[in-house]
Structure 1
Amino acid sequence: MVLLTPKGLTEERFSANHRSKPCSCRSGKDSGYGYDYDYAQLFSPNSLECGEFINVHHECTPINILNPYTTPTRMFSKRRPLYRFPLIPLSVLAVVLSFLFLYHYYVKPDSQFPGFSKASASSHAPQCSSQALALGEKFVWYAPHSGFSNQLSEFKNAVLMAGILNRTLVVPPILDHHAVALGSCPKFRVVDPKDIRNSVWDHMIELIRSGRYISIAEIIDIASLVSSSLVRVIDLRDFVSIWCDISLDLACITDTKLQSSVSKSLKRCGSLLTGLHGSVEKCIYAINEDCRTTVWTYHNDGHEDGMLDSFQPDEQLKQKKKISYVRRRKDVYKTLGPGSEVESASLLAFGSLFSSPYKGSELYVDIHESHQDPRFLSLMEKIQLLPFVPEIMIAGKEFAKETIKAPFLCAQLRLLDGQFKNHQKATFNGLRQKIESLRKEGPLPIHIFVMTDLPRVNWVDTYLGNLTRDKHNYKVYFLKEGDELVKQAAVKLMAAGHGQRFISNSNTIGKKYCSNQRLPDLLLYVEQAVCSSASLGFVGTPGSTIAENIELMRKFGSSS
């Protein structure tokens, strides 16, 4: 595992690099023009030296504007025009004062944080910092979206891509449910990769500001994956600190005088990382292929590279939507690995990495076949199930042991979101059949743990309402976000520090601005942990990725 802590990325470096040279002004802080000349603290090493300004100022010796050339020994010297020479030093002084006025109000705030002044002076075209290029490390990141289970699926594909391409994976936060949406791959109606990357960046800044940023590595246990050296990772916050020379915590600044500069610097960083203006040589390669045109594969000989995929838009869809997409299979190693045009890029930026089976193919990532490479086989095996961190699993087992206290059935009922709201009857029928089977086989009451997006107040006229009222035959359990068990799990999780942070929070220059970190909402994860230990079985909603994850947990016995 590579420790990606660049030398000097601490507060000491910031203070050292921006410490001003001492200087003073002979005439004091006010020379009579109403301006403060003690601006030594404003100048960075790349800016005008303080001493140079003072020399310019003091070359302008005060004069008698009525007769500037009068001396005690030349009372009757020839009069010279009053409008020539005196105006020269006065005009110089006016220019200098104007410069200082603009510098004070527009540049000074930037100089308090590394990289601001330097970036402001540069061209608008995004460029990698010399520090980023000097790392010698190659990175890959992507744009997660939709609900948590979809984000987990994308994370697994990202781990695969990072392992295959031998790049360090930039680990993203968990996004709010459907804060960023992809669209529909089967309908060939999706958001462009650069736009979805930009949406993820904007939402990530919002998570920082609202104190709700939590890395997926703080929820999913990847310790064994990293310790096995199968993949290298770095937290997105640490990556931005290195790559853009700015702490994301600065997004929390409320000082109106600083907000503009901070906002510009964050926007500049975001436009670079998202590839908003395209790829930059040796810096970033922005992948703009998506599921409409590409299916990523991986073979030792790359034999499928360039072949047509079996799933293509039908003629009716082409005519109706006026599209002409052709889906081709591309070998990820051959296209993006050593020897490709992408190899020299320090950062490789994907859009969505979500994929699922569809009509005999995969929507975007089709890397399932066995390979002779033992490292790749080991990586494939490890990502089949990425369990929750111990604090979540322990909370789930504790609820089953201390609250339910008996063998139980778990029912995962997704009833309100997307397509599932149109299939409530079928979802309840599956649960009803399982319960009827248990009634014939075992003792009563039947203990049932329910996780659902249907609010309790809406249970009354549903099958769930019938179960809760029949207390003789059924005992129904559920968890709420405010339950003490869930809150204590969040407290323990935050204290554990699973986030793969290589740069201490205390060493980020903007940390003092983000003091509003909230406890994460772990309800969904603890519920899945409870369901993984349901000894009487599990009934999930068909097509739900949450149900699929619970089935995996039960298959691999992650609750044991």
Structure 2
Amino acid sequence: MGDIVDLSPLKPLVKTIDFRVFVSLWCGVDMRKTCFSGLCCSVSGGGSLPSDYDRCRSLLSGLEGSESSGCVYPVQDDCRTTVWTYQENNDRALDSFQPDEELKRKKRISYVRRRKDIYKSLGPGNKAEDATLLAFGTLFSAPYKGSESYFDIHESPKDHRLQNLLEKIEFLPFAPEIMAAGTELAKSKIKEPFLCAQLRLLDGQFKNHWKSTFSALKEKLKSLEVEMKTNKNSGSVHIFLMTDLPRANWTKTYLADIAKDGKYQLYTLKENDVLQTAEKLMAAEHGIRSGFLPEIRGNTNKDCDPVQLPEILLYVEESVCSCASLGFVGTAGSTIAGSIETMRKNNVCKL
């Protein structure tokens, strides 16, 4: 995450450590196979036997022995049963969302969801106080137990330090390499004012809102056509399409209708289009450099064995959409759409 998102605004407020460095130091595991450049290789070498990985996985994932050792306190409360709050005076109260009787029968749900004050539950006077490491959810590949945590902490007027942090994390931009790639693609590939449409079939919300999403896109296109006629502009409407559906599969879909219509000019990206950006991003080593670094002995430019580049297409697409001057049509409830809206609100695109 530290390679993808620009964490520099948080540096004065929060101490971080890259997971590769952490596991190398904490467990002695050699993490160099996850590195791309020299600094990472220099600080992630570990040095213990490979079998220590299993012990480390067990320890950090809250499996048997972790809590009793006093070393790690695994937080077992997950998003199904717990909503974490802070200074709301509602500790242990029932959350407003509870599964109805039909959902309970359908999903065999036997639990209720409560709101818990994180300080009262995990602060001074609790078992967690004596632990060196507080672990939320699961790490490595521990058995999934609904491990996502739900934090409903948006403001803290009584705690100015935390309030400052919450304001900082409300929006964290992508790394400069990703933002630069999106801006350059908008400039050099599209070249004209354009509309961005997010139509990702694998987006969890698309299957629930696909009708309203397509309807919103149709209305937006009609509006743009009227505006162009009013301005006596006879050119095409330029559309950047953020989709995971290959063009070969557009047959008999609304996308195919748009693609065939001469009034529109469509643009899409493929993973191959952003390989150079992925290489630049990994070479920059933002994740390693943004956090704690141990003392480095020897050469910091050690050669690493080639590793698979991360898939960054989605992030570059989001940065392109932040530059869409004709507007944005996204899927209701989608975290991706929400991310793009936040980027546009903060005017991150510098064309």
User: Which residue does the alignment assign to 1:436?
Assistant: 222
Q: Does the 8 A contact of 2:236 with 2:265 survive in 1?
A: yes
Structure 1 residues 447 and 318, CA gap change in structure 2 (3 angstroms) = closer
How far apart are 1:499 and its partner, in Å? 1.2
Q: One-letter code of the match for 2:178?
A: I
Paired amino acid for 2:132: S
- Residue type of the alignment partner of 1:241: S
1:552: which partner in 2? 342
Question: How many angstroms does 1:323 deviate by?
Answer: 4.4
Selected match of 2:169 from 383, 394, 409: 383
Summarize the Cα distance change of 1:298–1:468 in structure 2 as closer, same or farther, 3 Å threshold. Answer: same
Shift of 1:306: 2.2
8 Å Cα contact 2:28/2:52 also seen in 1: no
Superposed displacement of residue 423, structure 1: 4.8
Secondary structure at 1:280's aligned position in 2?
Answer: helix
Q: TM-score, normalised by structure 2?
A: 0.82
1:310 and 2:96 are equivalent in the alignment: yes
Which position in structure 1 is the counterpart of 2:17? 234
1:373 Cα deviation after fit:
2.2
Letter in 2 for 1:556: N
Choose the corresponding residue for 1:276, options 57, 63, 68.
63
- Using the alignment, how far apart are the partners of 1:506 and 1:554 within structure 2? 44
Contact 1:274 1:286 in 2 (8 A): yes
Amino acid at match of 2:55: R
Partner of 1:396: 182
**In the alignment, residue 276 of structure 1 is paired with which amino acid?**
L
State whether residues 178 and 277 of structure 2, in contact with CA within 8 Å, keep that contact through their aligned partners in structure 1. yes
- 1:414–1:452 CA contact under 8 A, matched in 2: yes
Q: Please state how far the C-alpha of 1:418 moved relative to its aligned partner.
A: 4.5
Structure 1: which 5+ residue stretches go unaligned?
A: 1-215, 253-260, 354-362
List aligned pairs for 1:33-432, cutoff 5 A.
Answer: 216-226=1-11, 228=12, 230-249=13-32, 262-277=49-64, 278-299=66-87, 303-318=89-104, 323-351=109-137, 364-418=150-204, 420-421=206-207, 423-432=209-218
420-429 or 276-285, which deviates more: 420-429
The within-5 A match list for 1:2-17 is none
Q: Distance in 2 between matches of 1:281 and 1:307?
A: 31
The TM-score, its normalising length taken from structure 1, stands at 0.53
Structure 1 residue matching 2:150: 3-state secondary structure: coil
Q: Tell me if the contact between 1:415 and 1:423 (Cα under 8 Å) persists in the aligned partners.
A: no
**Which amino acid in the other structure matches residue 56 of structure 2?**
C
Residues 323 and 410 of structure 1: is their aligned pair in 2 closer, same or farther, counting only changes over 3 Å?
Answer: closer
Q: CA deviation at 1:504?
A: 8.1
Corresponding residue number in structure 2 for 1:93 = none
Deviation sequence 1:174-210 (CA, Å, 0-9, x none): xxxxxxxxxxxxxxxxxxxxxxxxxxxxxxxxxxxxx
In 1, Cα distance between the equivalents of 2:180 and 2:101?
53
**Contact 2:62–2:138 (CA under 8 A) maintained in structure 1:** no
Report the alpha carbon displacement of residue 410 of structure 1 after superposing the two structures with TM. Answer: 0.5
Determine the C-alpha separation between the residues in 2 that align with 1:374 and 1:419: 36
Relative contact order, higher structure (CA 8 A, sep 6+): 2
Cα displacement string for residues 391-435 of structure 1 (whole angstroms, at most 9, x for unaligned residues): 110111111111211111111112245552465443322211100
Task: Pick one of 467, 482, 492 that aligns with 2:280.
Answer: 492
* Contact preservation (8 Å) 2:155, 2:166: no
Specify the code of the residue in structure 1 equivalent to 2:216.
G
Q: How far apart are the structure 1 equivalents of 2:187 and 2:61?
A: 46
Any conservation in 2 of the 1:427–1:541 contact (CA below 8 Å)?
A: yes
Quote the Cα distance in structure 2 between the aligned partners of 1:440 and 1:385.
35
User: Partners in 2 of 1:251 and 1:559 — Cα distance?
Assistant: 31
Q: 1:418 to 1:382 in 2, by over 3 A?
A: closer
Cα distance in 2 between the residues matched to 1:321 and 1:519: 38
Q: Any conservation in 2 of the 1:217–1:500 contact (CA below 8 Å)?
A: yes
Task: Give the SS at the match of 1:217.
Answer: coil
**Is the Cα contact below 8 Å between 1:233 and 1:500 reproduced in 2?**
no
Distance 1:321 1:460, change over 3 A: closer
> How many residues in Structure 1 have an aligned counterpart in Structure 2?
318
Question: Which residue identity does 1:499 align to in structure 2?
Answer: G
> Aligned partners of 2:275 and 2:173: how far apart in 1?
20
Inter-partner Cα distance in structure 2 for 1:379 and 1:468: 45
Could you tell me how far apart the structure 1 residues matched to 2:296 and 2:246 are? 38
Structure 2 residue matching 1:218: 3-state secondary structure? coil
User: Quick one: structure 1 residues 372 and 432, their matched pair in 2 at CA, closer, same or farther if it must change by over 3 Å?
Assistant: same
Cα distance, 1:275 vs structure 2: 1.1
Match in the other structure for 1:541: 331
Following superposition, the deviation at residue 543 of structure 1 comes to 2.1
Tell me the secondary structure at the aligned position of residue 94 of structure 2: coil
Q: Considering only CA atoms, is the larger Rg found in Structure 1 or Structure 2?
A: 1
Q: Is the 8 A contact 2:199 2:206 kept in 1?
A: no
**Secondary structure at 2:265's aligned position in 1?**
strand
- Aligned residue for 1:411, secondary structure, equals strand
The aligned residue for residue 522 of structure 1 is: 312
SS of aligned partner of 1:429: helix
> Residues 431 and 462 from structure 1, CA distance in 2 versus in 1: closer, same or farther, beyond 3 angstroms?
same
Q: Which runs of 5+ in 2 are unaligned?
A: 36-47, 140-148
Query: How much has 1:336 moved relative to structure 2?
Result: 1.1
Counterpart in 2 of 1:532? 322
CA distance 1:522–1:326, change in 2 (3 Å):
closer
2: CA distance between counterparts of 1:547 and 1:352? 27
RMSD: 2.7
- The 1:320/1:498 distance shift into structure 2, 3 A limit, reads closer
- Give the Cα–Cα distance (whole angstroms) in 1 for the partners of residues 248 and 111 of structure 2: 47
Conserved 8 A contact 2:34-2:307: no
